[in-house]
Copies of this chain bind each other. A is one copy, B any other.
Amino acid sequence: MKKAVVLLSGGLDSTTTLAIAKSEGFEVYALSFNYGQRHKIELELAEKNAEIFEVKKQLTVEFNMRDIGGSALTDDIEVPKNGTDNNKDNEIPITYVPARNTIFLSFALSWAESIGAGDIYIGANAVDYSGYPDCRPEYIKAFEDMANLATKISVEGNLKFHICTPLIRLSKAEIINKGIELNVDYSQTWSCYDPVFMKELGKHVPCLKCDSCILRAKGFEDAGVIDPLL
């Protein structure tokens, strides 16, 4: 059985990506990160989905990006609540975390080499997204080229790495429809960057105002499906 490492944040995109990797017959190694993000709640859902989709192993790597700084997702900078308005000026929003996907993919590469997995899945999307540079196909291709020069297993000719981005050209609605087809339970996924704790409910709820909430809401609307998280 061929092995794949899947980056799993517990969000809508990465959970759908996990379902796709499983449907393609891979033995899945799910990799998550506790990096000081505001929305740590996503990690519980990553673990839950790892269980639901019966991955071979789930690993959460911990490090602190707060020391590095430069993002509203890890710093004491307010998460913008003007939705995707940011993109109107073609500006990359402040929720961008410097080189985050590069760090994530580097750990994935390390684990993939260690276990002998040639395929690394990431739920990057370049259609309904916030404009992050490290979600674009040209970036993914450059990482893949680098990965095959970086590693003992590839340089010795024993394995070639492939960065798999099954969502990259899909709209959010298409992603949701694909996930439903593959039995993803979207009530068990989290997208909001800035969760609000509701005392009355005793739990966190999405803010419904950040970029990520707005992209998610638009996706469900376009797909003609009610978001089961709400």
A residues neighboring B (CB under 8 Å): 59, 61-65, 67-70, 92, 96-103, 106-107, 109-111, 113-115, 132-134, 136, 138-139, 142-143, 145-147, 149-156
Extra contacts, 17 of them, besides A98-B152, A142-B142 (Cβ < 8 A), are: A59-B68, A61-B64, A70-B114, A70-B115, A92-B152, A92-B155, A96-B152, A98-B109, A98-B151, A99-B150, A101-B150, A102-B146, A103-B106, A139-B146, A139-B150, A145-B146, A146-B146
**Which residues from chain B contact A146 at a C-beta distance below 8 Å?**
102, 139, 142-143, 145-146
A167 to B100, CA, bound (A): 28
**Which residues from chain B contact A111 at a C-beta distance below 8 Å?**
68, 98
Interface centre among A103, A132, A136, A153 (most CB of B within 10 A): A103
Q: Are A109 and B99 in contact (CB under 8 A)?
A: yes
**Which residues from chain B contact A156 at a C-beta distance below 8 Å?**
92
